């Protein structure tokens, strides 16, 4: 895809990524028939968390989609999607810490220490921080090969995040299981890809050897 | 007939609830029905039939939640697992004719229709605190009569140590039952002492009106010192038993929900704290409030559990 159209598309995608947040802000003020219902704090926390997970899964979908379709330009949207995942997860935490817990540090620390689902959710957020910080082009250049290694943390983060969602559900896990399944497909694709490449690499030198050996 | 100049406890509407109601009506008027964040349509405001009531004992003077909060935000898995699902999915439910089968250790078993069950009793307004096991709470002006008065009419014998209740099972009319989220039908139970306690209410209405479908029409229990899930809805069976009956949530997750399910700020749910609660309707910036032992009814019910380890018998 040509550079100008990518630039335009980036603006459009950026705008789309802000739509859920805008809807929630409107709902807070009850504008346009939107409402957060009878338990607005919980609704805000749940919606922000779920959007964080959705953006994480979209970020993880970029590479498989790119490989399957050959649309290499998709990669240019990955950072934006990843950063939006971070923004929504951070807001999810801030509404929990600020509105739900009113920034009472002892209560928050107790929650993180005693509620396993909050422990893993908090870990996922903390692991997201270095990825957000090192998402710039300059950092990418400076870190070189280590950048890719560091950013493989996103797999761990996604697993912790989806697990955090699954674990806090009271009984009806259907919705959380949809997230689990999508993540399983996205990670499964990578495992399969890795395994195929490994086999191909393993087969590689042998066939070379055959080729060299043959003329003798 | 109801006298016009009587003032119900909830008629002294706090400003908070007044504003809440106004916002809701505004939102409902503008509703566009877009996505999860859309406001609920104004159907919730459609009032059911007025009931003839007298003021009952044990009412709290805390400000009750709005009709909208009470009728659009609750758990009733028979109509879906979302908080607004009961309101959305129960509108078509027909709660008449209705009958209740009474059986077990009593002298007068049989099938009783709704009018037989309710007819002989004086309906009381009772404003109770309601504490959900999910750590949110409301104040609800229920209409009902003491369950004990009803049970006495069936003349339980000395072997009746527990009472078992069952909700209607009808997946045609209760769409939530088409998925096996819980083992249907919903069952609940109380010790005979709990069932006979004067706080325990057989509820037929809210805010002086007949109970809306989503709140468990036409007959439901309210046991205000226990977590909300003990308050079984749309009751079709009452059985006096010798042994402790199985209960739905205990069967679903025995480590998390017990038979007693008394509100207790000191015994946490394995996955969340029960020390504080979020009062519905308090707004975006309200602080959580401390949960009270037995939901504030310790004076009336603590003696029922003397000698019982509440940590083990959660």
Round to whole Å and give the CA distance between B290 and B295: 10
Q: Which of B196, B204, B190 is nearest to B162 (CA)?
A: B190
Answer yes or no: do A33 and B273 touch at CB < 8 A: no
**Best of B26, B184, B271 to mutate (most A CBs within 10 Å, chain A):** B271
Rounded CA-CA distance B59/B70 in Å is 17
Selected residue of A23, A31, A35, A38 to mutate for chain B interface (largest B Cβ count, 10 A) = A38
Domains, in order of start, for chain B: 13-25+38-305 (3.90.420.10)
CB B224, CB B129: distance < 8 Å: yes
Contact B280 A117 (CB under 8 A): no
For residue range A155-193, list pLDDT tens digits in order. Answer: 999 999 999 999 999 999 999 999 999 999 999 999 999
Q: Which of A36, A39, A117 sits opposite B37 (nearest CB)?
A: A36
Residue B2 has pLDDT above 50, yes or no: no
Query: Using a CB-CB distance cutoff of 8 angstroms, which residues of chain A are in contact with residue B83?
Result: 37-39
Chain A closest CA to B210's CA: distance in Å?
A: 22
The yes/no answer to whether this complex scores an ipTM above 0.90 is no
Chain A residues with CB-CB distance to B39 below 8 A? 30, 33-35
Tell me the domain boundaries of chain A: 39-197
CA–CA dist B200, B189 (Å, integer): 12
| Number of inter-chain CB pairs under 8 A, A vs B | 86
Q: Which pTM does this prediction carry?
A: 0.88
Q: How far is B303 from chain A (nearest CA, A)?
A: 31
For residue B97 the two structure tokens come to 């004719």
Q: Flag if B23 and A36 touch (Cβ within 8 Å).
A: no
B186-215 pLDDT, tens digit each: 999 999 999 999 999 999 999 999 999 999
**Which of the four pLDDT bands, split at 50, 70 and 90, describes residue B29?**
very low
Q: Give the whole-angstrom CA distance, residue B227 versus residue B281.
A: 19
């Amino acid at each position: 895809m040509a550079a100008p159209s990518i630039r335009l598309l980036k603006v459009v995608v950026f705008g789309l990524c802000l739509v859920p947040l805008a809807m929630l802000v409107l709902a807070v003020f009850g504008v346009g028939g939107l409402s957060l219902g009878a338990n607005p704090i919980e609704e805000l926390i749940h919606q922000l968390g779920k959007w964080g997970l959705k953006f994480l899964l979209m970020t993880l979908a970029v590479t498989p989609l790119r490989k399957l379709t050959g649309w290499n330009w998709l990669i240019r949207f990955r950072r934006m999607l990843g950063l939006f995942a971070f923004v929504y997860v951070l807001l999810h935490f801030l509404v929990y810490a600020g509105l739900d817990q009113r920034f009472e540090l002892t209560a928050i620390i107790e929650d993180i220490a005693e509620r396993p689902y909050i422990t893993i959710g908090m870990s996922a957020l903390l692991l997201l921080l270095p990825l957000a910080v090192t998402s710039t082009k300059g950092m990418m250049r400076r870190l070189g090969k280590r950048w890719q290694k560091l950013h493989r943390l996103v797999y761990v983060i996604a697993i912790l995040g989806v697990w955090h969602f699954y674990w806090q559900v009271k009984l009806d896990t259907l919705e959380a299981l949809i997230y689990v399944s999508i993540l399983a497909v996205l990670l499964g694709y990578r495992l399969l890809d890795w395994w195929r490449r490994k086999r191909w690499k393993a087969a590689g030198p042998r066939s070379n050897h055959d080729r060299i050996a043959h003329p003798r | 007939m109801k006298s016009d100049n009587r003032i119900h406890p909830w008629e002294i509407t706090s400003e908070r609830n007044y504003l809440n109601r106004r916002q809701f009506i505004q939102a409902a008027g503008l509703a566009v029905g877009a996505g999860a964040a859309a406001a609920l349509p104004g159907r919730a405001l459609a009032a059911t039939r007025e009931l003839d009531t007298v003021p009952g004992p044990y009412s709290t003077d805390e400000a009750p939640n709005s009709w909208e909060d009470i009728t659009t935000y609750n758990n009733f898995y028979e109509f879906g697992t979302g908080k607004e699902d009961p309101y959305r999915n129960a509108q078509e439910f027909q709660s008449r004719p209705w009958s209740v089968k009474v059986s077990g250790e009593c002298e007068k078993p049989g099938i009783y229709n709704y009018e037989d069950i309710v007819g002989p009793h004086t309906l009381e307004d009772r404003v109770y605190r309601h504490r959900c096991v999910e750590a949110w709470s409301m104040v609800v002006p229920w209409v009902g009569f003491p369950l004990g008065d009803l049970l006495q009419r069936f003349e339980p014998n000395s072997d009746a140590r527990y009472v078992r209740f069952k909700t209607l099972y009808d997946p045609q009319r209760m769409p939530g039952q088409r998925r096996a989220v819980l083992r249907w039908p919903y069952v609940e139970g109380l010790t005979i002492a709990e069932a006979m306690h004067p706080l325990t209410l057989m509820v037929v209405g809210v805010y002086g009106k007949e109970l809306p479908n989503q709140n468990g029409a036409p007959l439901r229990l309210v046991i205000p010192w226990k977590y909300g899930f003990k308050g079984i809805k749309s009751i079709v069976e009452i059985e006096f038993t010798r042994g402790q009956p199985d209960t739905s949530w205990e069967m679903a997750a025995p480590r998390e929900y017990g038979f007693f399910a008394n509100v207790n700020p000191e015994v946490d749910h394995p996955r969340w704290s029960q020390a504080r609660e979020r009062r519905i309707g308090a707004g975006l910036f309200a602080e959580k409030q401390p949960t009270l032992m037995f939901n504030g009814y310790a004076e009336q019910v603590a003696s029922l559990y003397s000698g019982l380890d509440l940590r083990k018998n959660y």
